[in-house]
Amino acid sequence: MNLLDIIKNRRSIRKFEDKKIPEEVIDKLAEALIWAPSAGNLQSRKFYFVFNQEIKKELAKAALFQDFIAQAPLVIVGCTDNKIEKRYGERGKNLYSICDVAASIQNMLLLTHEQGLGTCWIGAFKEKEISKILNLPENLIPIALVSVGFPGEEPLAPPRVSKSEAIEIVE
Ligand SMILES: Cc1cc2nc3c(=O)[nH]c(=O)nc-3n(C[C@H](O)[C@H](O)[C@H](O)COP(=O)(O)O)c2cc1C
């Protein structure tokens, strides 16, 4: 698959096979996360890799009972790190660190698809509950969960807007 095929064929997967993710693939996911760009290269982000079944169930509950989350063998919790504020102030905290985490996650979603895994980016959850479940330090704010596992479904691609709708050419 070339990169554009990987980008276009990746789908959000909400059903997973009961199959372990090989260690070497997990290591590649971690590489994809840390090699994403970040503001000032401060890498003000942190990722929790959750394999524990009971904790995954709690995360699913905190994510408004999206039960498929607990079905995935791995749930990654992406957090911004407010330490960025020291260098970039409010803009660092409210924008850059969120972009940093999002860039990492998109890298990882594409890598997982290339590796034959499926993922779903989950944004709907109660932030404070996730912080409590993982006992996060105050500087870390969870902004995304990603369920990861071997896909148990092949969803059709939801439509996209046309290129002309999405893009304005400035010449
Ligand atoms: C910021 C963000 C939040 C999302 N939150 C959820 C969510 O809470 N639950 C869910 O099932 N999917 C969630 N999604 C997945 C989207 O529904 C999905 O990406 C979109 O419908 C397009 O489908 P595709 O990923 O298969 O191309 C989220 C995606 C993003 C980028």
What domains can you pick out in the chain, each with its CATH number? 20-115+128-152 (3.40.109.10)
Say how far apart CA 82 and CA 60 lie, in whole Å.
25
Note the pLDDT of residue 56.
98
pLDDT at res. 121: 98
Q: Is 106 in the pocket of ligand 1 (CB under 6 A)?
A: no
Alpha carbon of 86 to ligand 1 centroid (Å): 32
pTM across the whole model: 0.98
Query: What is the CA(147)–ligand 1 centre distance, in A?
Result: 11
**What is the per-residue DSSP string for 3-38?**
HHHHHHH--B---B-S-PPPHHHHHHHHHHHHTS--
64 CA closest ligand 1 atom index: 8
The pLDDT of residue 66 is 98
Encode the chain (171 residues) as per-residue pLDDT tens digits: 899 999 999 999 999 999 999 999 999 999 999 999 999 999 999 999 999 999 999 999 999 999 999 999 999 999 999 999 999 999 999 999 999 999 999 999 999 999 999 999 999 999 999 999 999 999 999 999 999 999 999 999 999 999 999 999 999
User: Is ligand 1 within 6 A of the CB of residue 11?
Assistant: yes
C-alpha distances in Å from residue 56, one per residue of 71, 72, 75, 85: 8, 8, 7, 30
Q: Could you tell me where the beta strands, DSSP code E, fall in the chain?
A: 45-50, 74-81, 118-122, 140-149
Report CA(170)–ligand 1 centroid distance (Å). 30
Structure tokens given for 109: 């979603």
CA of 123 to the centre of ligand 1 (A): 7
Binding site membership of 121 for ligand 1 (Cβ less than 6 Å) = yes
pLDDT for the residue 1 = 82
Atom of ligand 1 nearest to the CA of 155: 26
Question: For residues 94 and 154, is the Cβ–Cβ distance under 8 A?
Answer: no
167 vs 46: CA distance, rounded Å: 32
Q: How far is ligand 1, taken at its centre, from the CA of residue 66, in Å?
A: 12
Measuring from atom 18 of ligand 1, which residue has the nearest CA?
Answer: 12
